[in-house]
Amino acid sequence: MAKGALKLAIIGGGSSYTPELVEGVLKRLDRLPVKEIHFVDVEAGKEKLDIIAHLAQRMIDKVGADIKLTASMDRKAAIAGADFVMTQFRVGGLQARANDERIPLKYDVIGQETTGPGGFAKALRTIPVILGICKDIEALAPNAWMLNFTNPAGLVTEAVQKYSKVKTIGLCNVPVSMTMMIAEMMACQSDELTLEYAGLNHLLWAHRAWLNGEDITAQVLEKVGDGANFSMKNIFEEPWEPEFLQALGAIPCPYHRYFYQTEAMLAEEKASAEQGGTRAEQVMVTEQELFELYQNPELDEKPEQLEQRGGAYYSDASLNLVDAIYNNRNTINVVNTRNNGTMHFLPDDAVIECSAVVGSAGARPIGVGKLGPAVTGLIHQVKAYEQLTVEAAVHGDYDSALMALVNNPLVPDITKAKAILDDILRTNYDYLPQFR
Ligand code: G6P
């Protein structure tokens, strides 16, 4: 990448997470000469976008940074000449997420933002839109890197890799959150740890953990089994069964609870849907509070209340990646990228989540050796679901959509798969033109 002034385009700039991103930029100005940031959003998000833009401007002014900030509905203008295009949008907003969470629950199936049928519905809405963004990048900023946080991040990144020429890396805050939680339980600094991550997005294991040359995997599993904090704000902390963890021999991510403790997680989801509301419905309240705070003309930093959301360390994860690419640092980051033989049992063009060396040439995955059937079975099945979902989303193909849900480990049988699919297609009619 040519050195010089950097332009960032943030698609979904009106997100309540954006101040986190701005903070990450301002913390790294010595390494990243960001001179222009363009937030873009859709008409329905204009009010939020304006609030975010004013807060971001106050944050920029506070540190006296020389950054031109623009907020608009003009996606093409935002993308033209950008070096990095960061995507963090939500088609249909939080109401669509709430539908994704509630529809499966009607059929006694996990209803979750990214995992199971909820993530499937989100992918169907999102993939056509992101491929449209890719067309703009191909035409107006062909050298730009797209850093995708849009959920379901791995699946969406796979669609971009397969159906566009855009250079892309997918990103999630789960690995950095796991690293921080392991550092806390081992009472060490996060940079003293080496964690061998491999899996898929929101289906990630640390296969081995090292602290100053010592293999601490068993110790970490013991602590997690003993109830050490190992969850995220958005996921119910169902206790792990210690014997199961020792038998598994790899450290699961918080989202694994949906796969390994399905009944307990389903019961918890149903109870909270009846009482405080689904996670999206709870987040709607938090968001409203956040946007009220953001409007305070005195506020010129990211408020602490943002930490109630699930996206902790989101800013560090994303800006460290920009730093690694722009400055060719060749540092190890955990990213979503092309498999390229790393997991021998998956196709080369499958997107996996793993530790990778990241520099100006992009991400080069680090292998973790041969994985046993205790983990490959689940990875294989979820990847089959993801591949089918990409095809369904791109071509509006009902059969692929049905086979995707049938292959999702959280969907128990074809009758439920069909009922859920038909419900999703009906409820999301306005967002799924490809199926008409
Ligand atoms: C975690 C996940 C994200 C997800 C977020 C939801 O950070 O890694 O993929 O979007 O949680 O948090 P929320 O506060 O919106 O429930």
Residue 261 included in any domain? no
Question: How many whole angstroms from 141 Cα to the centroid of ligand 1?
Answer: 29
Residue 154 included in any domain? yes
If one compares 133 and 307, the residue with the highest pLDDT of the two is 133
Q: What residue's CA is closest to ligand 1, atom 12?
A: 310
Which pLDDT tens digit goes with each residue over 220-260? 999 999 999 998 999 999 999 999 999 999 999 999 999 99
What pLDDT does 53 receive? 98
User: Considering only CA atoms, which of 373, 355, 380 is closest in space to residue 365?
Assistant: 355
DSSP string, 189-258: -GGGEEEEEEEETTEEEEEEEEETTEE-HHHHHHHHHTT-----TTS--PPP-HHHHHHH-SEE-TTHHH
Helices (H), 28-116: 46-63, 75-79, 93-106
pLDDT band at residue 346 using 50, 70 and 90 as cut-offs: very high
Residue 135 included in any domain? yes
pTM of the model: 0.97
Q: What is the C-alpha end-to-end distance of the chain, expressed in Å?
A: 41
Distance CA 367, CA 391 (A): 28
- Furthest C-alpha separation in the chain: 60
Q: Indicate if the pLDDT at residue 300 is higher than 90.
A: yes
Question: How many whole angstroms from 309 Cα to the centroid of ligand 1?
Answer: 7
Task: Give the rounded percent of residues in the chain with a pLDDT score beyond 90.
Answer: 95
Domain count across the chain? 1
Question: How many whole angstroms from 5 Cα to the centroid of ligand 1?
Answer: 31
Q: 151 CB less than 6 Å from ligand 1?
A: yes
Whether residue 202 is annotated as binding a ligand: the answer is: yes
Task: Give the rounded percent of residues in the chain with a pLDDT score beyond 70.
Answer: 100
What pLDDT does 297 receive? 96
Distance CA 199, CA 354 (A): 6
Q: 283 CB less than 6 Å from ligand 1?
A: yes
Distance CA 220, CA 285 (A): 35
Catalytic residue among 17, 197, 255, 431: 255
Q: Which helix (H) or strand (E) is 155 found in, with range?
A: helix 153-163
What pLDDT does 309 receive? 87
Spatial contact of 177 and 312, defined as CB atoms under 8 Å apart: yes
Distance CA 356, CA 313 (A): 18
Fill in the amino acid letter for 92.
Answer: G
Whether residue 172 is annotated as binding a ligand: the answer is: yes
**398 in catalytic set:** no
Distance CA 208, CA 325 (A): 26
Distance CA 253, CA 291 (A): 30
Q: Indicate if the pLDDT at residue 301 is higher than 70.
A: yes
Q: What residue's CA is closest to ligand 1, atom 13?
A: 310
Q: 114 CB less than 6 Å from ligand 1?
A: yes
Which pLDDT tens digit goes with each residue over 136-179? 999 999 999 999 999 999 999 999 999 999 999 999 999 999 99
Token look-up 């689940």 returns: 378
Residue 105 included in any domain? yes
Question: How many whole angstroms from 433 Cα to the centroid of ligand 1?
Answer: 27
Q: What residue's CA is closest to ligand 1, atom 6?
A: 310
| ∠ CA 76-120-272, rounded to 5° | 110
Residue 429 included in any domain? no
What pLDDT does 308 receive? 83
Mean pLDDT of 39-55: 96
In this structure, what DSSP letter does residue 372 have? P
**Which CATH number fits the domain that encloses residue 28?**
3.40.50.720
Distance CA 432, CA 396 (A): 8
Residue 282 included in any domain? no
pLDDT band at residue 311 using 50, 70 and 90 as cut-offs: confident
User: Considering only CA atoms, which of 124, 230, 121 is closest in space to residue 179?
Assistant: 230
Q: Whole-number mean pLDDT of the chain? A: 96
pLDDT band at residue 1 using 50, 70 and 90 as cut-offs: low
* Least confident residue range of 92-101, 308-317, 337-346, 401-410: 308-317
218, two tokens: 């068993």
Q: 97 CB less than 6 Å from ligand 1?
A: no
pLDDT band at residue 2 using 50, 70 and 90 as cut-offs: low
Whether residue 151 is annotated as binding a ligand: the answer is: yes
Q: 173 CB less than 6 Å from ligand 1?
A: yes
Q: Where are the beta strands (DSSP E) in 278-344?
A: 331-338
pLDDT band at residue 397 using 50, 70 and 90 as cut-offs: very high
208, two tokens: 């081995």
Question: How many whole angstroms from 65 Cα to the centroid of ligand 1?
Answer: 30
pLDDT band at residue 314 using 50, 70 and 90 as cut-offs: confident
Residue 65 included in any domain? yes
Residue 299 included in any domain? no
Whether residue 54 is annotated as binding a ligand: the answer is: no
What pLDDT does 3 receive? 77
- Find the domain containing 110 and state its range: 6-170
Which pLDDT tens digit goes with each residue over 277-290? 999 999 999 999 99
What pLDDT does 307 receive? 83
Complex ipTM value: 0.98
Q: What is the 3-class SS of 92-140, one letter each residue?
A: CHHHHHHHHHHHHHHCCCCCCCCCCHHHHHHHHHHHHHHHHHHHHHHHH
